[in-house]
């Protein structure tokens, strides 16, 4: 087994069949690779999303999770329950972040934030031909866009037969394939167990994306339904959902070299790009983006303060920018360290050779057209980055655009503006109460304009540029912006008034913001149509590209998998350590004593005195790894995950839960963009979860409910 592991490392990148976020149906064709990795069961046993163990896997919308009891008990990450399970149940007097939470019986389980759902995938159907029905390769792109959108809306409408069901059209391979995902929404989700933050997010931002890691990133929730078994909103007399399929939890765990799989819902990757896009991203684009983020962070720091609450309002925007800053910086570093551009260049050259020798002249023309469109997009990337950036203007335009769509019949509207979307639009406005400050917004906008004005005329929008005096002095621009920002529609309340107006009513308003939006309206709409047209064309061109790519990989006996798109995927591999720097080896397991080593008493390294004492007592129970001589806390594997996989079940050959995936390593985060075999997944070990439930929490009720395998 070890030998096959090592061989992974010398394989070429660029859609290597290793790594891989596979759709379950692809699993049987990966038999050899699975056997090499040490999987010894029938490969067909993991090929259906609707059979055990796959159907034990659920989604929280933004995170993955898994049933671990027949009564709807679900294991996921601590960081997946913070916002919607812990926060709404916390107060200054009863701070569940500080204290943690454990329900000693089902009656003590507490309600999640309204709107929180558990999603169980019921069906997944290939609907490519239905989505493309009415189009040919020669259909005009504007028309093509409309047809696809209308087909999609119709399919969803037909599918959503009850309010228990949500249906989603998912594009695979940039629209080469479409699938309809039919999902059961369980609307009553309750918190069962969350450790205190000093365990659940031990290491905080400092350890984020880092290994060695010692985070107890686990939590338990439960799905409830109505007494009749149907999906219902929270009600006191709801009953636990009967989860026929669930994972047993291993108290034995895994050891170095063992086979593991992760089942979950990865959100988004970008591994199927053309080389011109990669060349731009890796030599220019990432760096520019990082600079942009850095200036955003600095601007927010400069222009916000505690006194007027603006610091708080922009905390989310700032931490988002910081998070991306860290991630993209890590990707830049990783691309350099792992020589990604050069390797992608070589792989692309191989692909080009194949195309030259084997593709039809039509397919070659399609490919060339795609490359040209990508080149054009690249040429506009930088100026687009600095276009707009005024939340005030964006919302005014958005509401006017919504008003335009609302003049149409519901099924004729653009998606995003249908009746089903309206409550969401209003919520977005209300959310501005916590995330918007007009003074700061203006400063951010002015900073964008200062850069936007430096682009040549052909890269800028003419009406927008003229109205904002971008060819005149900065003082003139400032004057225009001040005028726009003197609007009467700068608060969420006044925006809700706009929301209620018709398109005509808005158009007639005598207000500097609205006048500006009216003036740029046609230019924006023209751009929207251009984007749609381009998008429809790219859907066609990328489909052709993917077919070429697939046949190229078939020619070298490999298969490809679609970029992550929040659908159920499988990744498999082995528990293994990591050597990323000369002479430094990361062992695949961390242990309880490592928690003490990092403990400074200061957040984010501040475990409780009682936990410290407990660890020092070495009362490991049956949860210690013999090899390690302690209870494993987190472990590394070479599995292939990304955002959205948080909370995914890490399982062994017997489909027992051995961990919950919760992070990657910054050094190899470039893997989201271009898979590298050095990438590692960090899981929290099932033995640490069980040790905590047993020794720390004395949670007998839960330990009895969970089927523990010794």
Nearer to a second copy, 214 or 542 (CB): 214
Of the listed pieces 138-146, 383-391, 411-419, 583-591, which binds a second copy according to CB under 8 A? Answer: 583-591
Of the listed pieces 31-39, 554-562, 586-594, 683-691, which binds a second copy according to CB under 8 A? Answer: 586-594
In the list 325, 516, 572, 589, the residue contacting a second copy (rule: CB under 8 A) is 589
The tokens 């430094």 sit on which residue?
584
In the list 585, 613, 698, 704, the residue contacting a second copy (rule: CB under 8 A) is 585
Q: Annotate 381-413 with DSSP letters as a single string.
A: HHHHHHS---HHHHHHHHHHHHHHHHTS-GGGS
Of the listed pieces 3-11, 15-23, 184-192, 206-214, which binds a second copy according to CB under 8 A? Answer: 206-214
**Which of 36, 84, 207, 217 is the catalytic position?**
217
Nearer to a second copy, 413 or 598 (CB): 598
Answer for the pair 44, 29: CB distance below 8 angstroms, yes or no: no
Nearer to a second copy, 399 or 633 (CB): 633
Told to check if 582 binds a second copy by CB under 8 A, we report: yes
Pick the closest to residue 688 from 639, 615, 617, 616 (CA basis). Answer: 615
Question: Phi/psi of residue 87, each to 5°?
Answer: -50, -50
Told to check if 157 binds a second copy by CB under 8 A, we report: no
How are beta strands 632-637 and 649-651 bridged, if at all? unpaired
Told to check if 25 binds a second copy by CB under 8 A, we report: no
In the list 218, 516, 572, 586, the residue contacting a second copy (rule: CB under 8 A) is 586
Residue 535 Cβ vs a second copy, minimum distance, rounded to whole Å = 40
Of the listed pieces 72-80, 96-104, 582-590, 701-709, which binds a second copy according to CB under 8 A? Answer: 582-590
Q: Which of residues 619-638 bind a second copy (CB under 8 A)?
A: none
Answer for the pair 265, 64: CB distance below 8 angstroms, yes or no: yes
How are beta strands 249-250 and 708-709 bridged, if at all? parallel
> What letter does residue 125 receive in the DSSP assignment?
E
Active site residue 258: no
- Rounded-to-integer distance, Cα 637 and Cα 635, Å: 7
Told to check if 255 binds a second copy by CB under 8 A, we report: no
Segment 351-360 long-range contacts (CB within 8 Å, at least 24 positions apart): 351/548, 351/549, 351/552, 354/548, 354/552, 354/555, 355/548, 355/552, 358/551, 358/552, 358/555, 359/548
Pick the closest to residue 708 from 40, 105, 699, 619 (CA basis). Answer: 699
Nearer to a second copy, 209 or 246 (CB): 209
Nearer to a second copy, 264 or 594 (CB): 594
**Which of 646, 648, 671, 686 is the catalytic position?**
646
- Rounded-to-integer distance, Cα 664 and Cα 571, Å: 14
Answer for the pair 657, 247: CB distance below 8 angstroms, yes or no: yes
Strand partners, 264: 569
Categorise residue 389: left if φ over 0, alpha if ψ from -120 to 50, beta otherwise: left
Residue 602 Cβ vs a second copy, minimum distance, rounded to whole Å = 14
Q: Which of residues 113-142 bind a second copy (CB under 8 A)?
A: none
In the list 6, 92, 357, 584, the residue contacting a second copy (rule: CB under 8 A) is 584
Count of chain residues binding a second copy (CB under 8 A): 18
Nearer to a second copy, 92 or 584 (CB): 584
- Rounded-to-integer distance, Cα 701 and Cα 404, Å: 56
Residue 692 Cβ vs a second copy, minimum distance, rounded to whole Å = 18
Told to check if 593 binds a second copy by CB under 8 A, we report: yes
Nearer to a second copy, 211 or 691 (CB): 211
Nearer to a second copy, 588 or 664 (CB): 588
Residue 335 Cβ vs a second copy, minimum distance, rounded to whole Å = 15
Residue 401 Cβ vs a second copy, minimum distance, rounded to whole Å = 48
Q: Which of residues 207-236 bind a second copy (CB under 8 A)?
A: 211-212, 214
Question: Phi/psi of residue 618, each to 5°?
Answer: 55, 35
Told to check if 405 binds a second copy by CB under 8 A, we report: no
Nearer to a second copy, 277 or 331 (CB): 331
Q: Which helix (H) or strand (E) holds 316?
A: helix 315-337
Strand locations in 159-275 (E): 165-172, 177-186, 188-194, 219-225, 239-240, 249-250, 259-264
Burial per residue of 363-402, b for 16 or more beta-carbon CB atoms within 10 angstroms, e otherwise: beebbeebbebbeeebeebbbebbbbbbbbbebbbbbbbb
Told to check if 571 binds a second copy by CB under 8 A, we report: no
In the list 6, 92, 357, 583, the residue contacting a second copy (rule: CB under 8 A) is 583
Told to check if 388 binds a second copy by CB under 8 A, we report: no
- Rounded-to-integer distance, Cα 399 and Cα 402, Å: 5
Alpha-carbon Rg for the chain, nearest whole angstrom, is: 26
Told to check if 574 binds a second copy by CB under 8 A, we report: no
Told to check if 275 binds a second copy by CB under 8 A, we report: no
Query: How many CB atoms lie under 10 A from the CB of residue 424?
Result: 9
Of the listed pieces 201-209, 238-246, 592-600, 658-666, which binds a second copy according to CB under 8 A? Answer: 592-600
Q: Which of residues 328-367 bind a second copy (CB under 8 A)?
A: 337
Burial per residue of 475-504, b for 16 or more beta-carbon CB atoms within 10 angstroms, e otherwise: eebbebbeebbebebbebeebeebbebebe
**Which of 36, 64, 69, 79 is the catalytic position?**
79
Active site residue 217: yes
Nearer to a second copy, 634 or 645 (CB): 634
User: What stretches of 472-511 show up as alpha helix (H) in DSSP?
Assistant: 474-485, 492-500, 503-508
Told to check if 419 binds a second copy by CB under 8 A, we report: no
Of the listed pieces 352-360, 496-504, 585-593, 667-675, which binds a second copy according to CB under 8 A? Answer: 585-593
Known catalytic residues are 79, 217, 646
Binding site for a second copy (CB under 8 A): 211-212, 214, 337, 581-591, 593-594, 597
């Amino acid at each position: 087994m070890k030998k096959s592991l090592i061989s992974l490392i010398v394989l070429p990148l660029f859609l290597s069949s290793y790594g891989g976020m596979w759709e379950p149906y692809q699993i049987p064709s990966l038999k050899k690779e699975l056997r090499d990795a040490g999987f010894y069961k029938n490969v067909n046993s993991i090929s259906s999303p609707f059979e055990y163990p796959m159907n034990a896997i659920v989604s929280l919308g933004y995170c993955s999770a898994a049933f671990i009891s027949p009564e709807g008990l679900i294991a996921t990450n601590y960081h997946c329950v913070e916002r919607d399970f812990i926060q709404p149940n916390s107060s200054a007097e009863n701070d569940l972040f500080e204290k943690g939470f454990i329900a000693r019986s089902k009656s003590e389980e507490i309600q999640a934030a309204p709107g929180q759902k558990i999603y169980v995938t019921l069906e997944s159907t290939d609907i490519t031909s239905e989505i493309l029905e009415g189009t040919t390769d020669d259909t005009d792109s504007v028309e093509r866009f409309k047809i696809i959108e209308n087909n999609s809306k119709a399919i969803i409408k037909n599918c959503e037969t009850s309010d228990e069901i949500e249906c989603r059209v998912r594009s695979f391979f940039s629209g080469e394939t479409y699938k309809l995902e039919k999902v059961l929404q369980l609307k009553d989700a309750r918190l069962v167990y969350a450790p205190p933050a000093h365990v659940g997010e031990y290491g905080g931002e400092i350890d984020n994306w880092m290994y060695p890691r010692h985070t107890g990133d686990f939590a338990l929730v439960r799905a409830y339904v109505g007494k009749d078994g149907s999906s219902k909103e929270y009600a006191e007399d709801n009953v636990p959902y009967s989860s026929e399929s669930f994972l047993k939890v291993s108290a034995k765990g895994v050891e170095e070299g063992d086979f593991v799989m992760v089942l979950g819902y990865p959100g988004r990757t970008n591994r199927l790009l053309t080389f011109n896009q990669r060349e731009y991203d890796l030599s220019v684009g990432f760096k520019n983006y990082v600079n942009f983020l850095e200036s955003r962070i600095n601007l927010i720091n400069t222009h916000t303060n505690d006194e007027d609450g603006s610091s708080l309002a922009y905390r989310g925007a700032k931490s988002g920018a910081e998070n991306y800053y860290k991630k993209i910086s890590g990707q830049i570093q990783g691309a350099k360290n792992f020589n990604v551009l050069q390797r992608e260049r070589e792989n692309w050259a191989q692909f080009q050779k194949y195309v030259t020798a084997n593709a039809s002249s039509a397919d070659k023309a399609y490919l060339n057209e795609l490359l040209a469109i990508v080149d054009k997009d690249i040429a506009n990337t930088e100026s687009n980055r600095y276009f707009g950036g005024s939340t005030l203007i964006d919302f005014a335009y958005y509401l006017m655009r919504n008003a335009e769509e609302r003049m149409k019949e519901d099924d004729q509207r653009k998606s995003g503006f249908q009746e089903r979307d309206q409550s969401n639009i209003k919520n977005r406005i209300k959310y501005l109460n916590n995330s918007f400050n007009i003074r700061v917004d203006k400063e951010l906008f002015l900073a964008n304009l200062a850069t936007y004005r430096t682009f040549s005329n052909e890269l800028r929008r003419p009406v927008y540029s003229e109205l904002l005096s971008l060819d005149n002095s900065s003082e003139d621009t400032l004057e225009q912006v001040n005028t726009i920002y003197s609007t009467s529609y700068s608060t969420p309340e006044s925006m809700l008034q706009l929301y209620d107006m018709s398109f005509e009513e808005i158009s007639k308003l005598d207000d500097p913001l609205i006048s500006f939006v009216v003036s740029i309206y046609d230019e924006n709409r023209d751009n929207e149509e251009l984007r749609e047209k381009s998008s429809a064309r790219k859907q066609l061109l990328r489909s052709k590209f993917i077919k070429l790519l697939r046949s190229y990989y078939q020619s070298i006996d490999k298969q490809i998998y679609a970029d992550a798109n929040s659908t159920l995927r499988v990744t498999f591999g082995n528990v293994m350590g990591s050597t990323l720097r000369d002479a430094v080896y990361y062992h695949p397991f961390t242990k309880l004593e490592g928690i003490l080593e990092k403990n400074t008493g200061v957040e984010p390294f501040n475990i409780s005195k009682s936990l410290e004492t407990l660890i020092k007592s070495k009362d490991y129970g049956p949860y210690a790894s013999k090899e390690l001589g302690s209870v494993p806390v987190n472990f590394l594997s070479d599995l292939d995950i990304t955002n959205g996989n948080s909370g995914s079940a890490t399982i062994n050959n017997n489909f027992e839960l051995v961990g919950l995936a919760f992070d990657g390593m910054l050094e190899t985060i470039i893997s989201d963009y271009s898979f590298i075999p050095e990438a590692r997944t960090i899981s929290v070990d099932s033995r640490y979860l069980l040790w905590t439930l047993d020794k720390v929490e004395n949670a007998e009720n839960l330990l009895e409910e969970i089927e523990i395998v010794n």
